Amino acid sequence: MKFIKGFLGIVIPVAIGLALALLIKATVVTVARVDGPSMEPNLVNNERLFVWRHAKIKHLSVIVFDAHGEDPSATTPNTDYVKRVIGLPGDTVSSSDGNVYVNGKKINQSFISKYQRTTGTGNWDLQTLSKSWAKHPNSVKVPKGNYFVLGDHRSVSNDGRYWGFVPKKKITGVAKTFPWGTDKAKRHNVNDLGFE
């Protein structure tokens, strides 16, 4: 009898702890991994991130989303992409000479170099980009319930310029770096730039 009480005294707290951890992971926060160079210099390949499932998505928030069904090259379910939100629902978005404009206002891109802003990006707006998209062709604004995303390393990023918008239902949450994972400036560039 003592053995059973002792055994249950260990098993029950461990089971409760595991159940709480799974509940938190499913509803509050999870962990994701950066795959590839598209968010350099602020996030690097294999870097781990917290993903807050219910955080408010703002301009310049870094998000994690399932690209399957949005990007034609994401052929398997649960293909997580990490990108920066540029356009919110209802926004117009354009680029000229490496500058990105949201609703006609130039956004501050000091989180990446001029080289990263200008190399391989070209001049565009949503209407010219969307002519080649399978979903939402000829869009002039980000549709309701969708977001427009770019990678920080624009010349190598496979992002919204090539396949369109990210539906809210595909977004896992807003990504934040671990405090020990990167330097202070890069942490700021991921964790603190979001604006309404």
d(CA 99, CA 114): 9
The pLDDT of residue 58 is 96
Residue 38 lies in a domain: yes
Residue 100 lies in a domain: yes
Residue 158: inside a domain, yes or no?
yes
User: Helix, strand, or coil here: 128?
Assistant: helix
- Look at residue 126 in the predicted model and tell me its pLDDT: 92
**Residue 1 within a domain:** no
Burial profile 88-123: b = 16 or more Cβ within 10 angstroms, e = fewer:
beebbbbbeebebbbeeeebebebbeeebbeeebee
**Which runs of consecutive H residues, i.e. helices, occur in 45-138?**
114-118, 126-130
Our count of domains for the chain comes to: 1
In a domain, 9, yes or no: no
pTM for the structure as a whole: 0.87
The predicted structure's pLDDT at residue 28: 63
- Output the pLDDT for position 75: 93
Please, is 9 exposed, middle or buried when counting C-beta atoms within 10 Å of its C-beta (0-12, 13-18, 19+)? exposed
In one-letter notation, the amino acid at residue 16 is I
- For 123, the domain range is 29-191
Residues 65/81, Cβ–Cβ less than 8 Å: yes
Asked whether residue 22 is assigned to any structural domain, the reply reads no
CATH of the domain at 56: 2.10.109.10
Neighbours of 168 (CB within 10 A): 13
Domain assignment present for residue 128? The answer is yes
Residues 6+ apart with CB under 8 A from 16: none
Is 23 inside a domain boundary? no
Tokens of 107: 């956004």
Q: Which residues are catalytic?
A: 38, 83
pLDDT for res 1: 67
Q: Which two tokens stand for residue 142?
A: 């980000």
Amino acid 5: pLDDT: 66
Note down pLDDT in tens along the chain; length 196 residues. 676 766 666 766 776 667 666 666 666 689 999 999 999 999 999 999 999 999 999 999 999 999 999 999 999 999 999 999 999 999 999 999 889 999 999 999 999 998 888 887 788 989 999 888 888 888 899 999 999 999 999 999 999 999 999 999 999 999 999 887 678 888 888 888 877 7
